[in-house]
């Protein structure tokens, strides 16, 4: 079982609206994206992004793990932000498209996107 760094997870499938994302990139095994979240949390807290009503932490997975080597898998640990939010050195992704997503609940809400969603 992958190391979840003490954040137990449960998965739920749900529809998500389009949203602007700011986050920390991750390359490597998808189960280790928690390392990127551990870098994101303090930055989001410092910028006040995690205190905004409706803010959701999301993981965006860009590659298909069935066809991409584990060490080159790309993903993003991110938080949803307002269009006018100041994100400093966090990586910005334009609004993610609306669609079906898998939601993994923990102490902070985390939504895991389908592979290939940008």
Tell me whether residue 1 is in a domain: no
Q: How far apart are CA 56 and CA 64, in angstroms?
A: 24
Q: pLDDT tens, 61-112? A: 889 999 999 999 999 999 999 888 888 888 777 655 555 555 554 444 444 4
CATH number of the domain to which 61 belongs = 3.20.80.10
- Is residue 92 within a helix (H) or strand (E), and if so which, with residue range? strand 91-96
Domain extent, residue 54, equals: 10-112
Instruction: For the full predicted model, state whether its pTM sits above 0.75.
Output: no
**Exposed e or buried b per residue across 55-70, where buried means at least 16 C-beta atoms within 10 angstroms of its C-beta:** bbbbbbbbbeeeeeee
Tell me whether residue 92 is in a domain: yes
Q: Are the beta carbons of 23 and 90 closer than 8 angstroms?
A: yes
Number of compact structural domains in the chain: 1
Tell me whether residue 100 is in a domain: yes
Tell me whether residue 117 is in a domain: no
């Amino acid at each position: 079982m992958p190391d979840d760094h003490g954040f137990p997870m449960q998965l739920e499938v749900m529809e998500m609206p389009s949203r602007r994302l700011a986050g920390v990139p991750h390359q490597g095994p998808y189960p280790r994206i928690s390392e990127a979240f551990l870098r994101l949390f303090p930055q989001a807290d410092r910028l006040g992004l995690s205190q905004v009503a409706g803010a959701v932490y999301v993981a965006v997975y860009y590659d298909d793990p069935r066809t991409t080597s584990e060490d080159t898998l790309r993903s993003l640990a991110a938080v949803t932000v307002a269009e006018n939010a100041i994100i400093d050195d966090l990586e910005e992704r334009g609004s993610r498209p609306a669609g079906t997503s898998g939601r993994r609940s923990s102490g902070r809400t985390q939504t895991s996107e389908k592979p290939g969603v940008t």
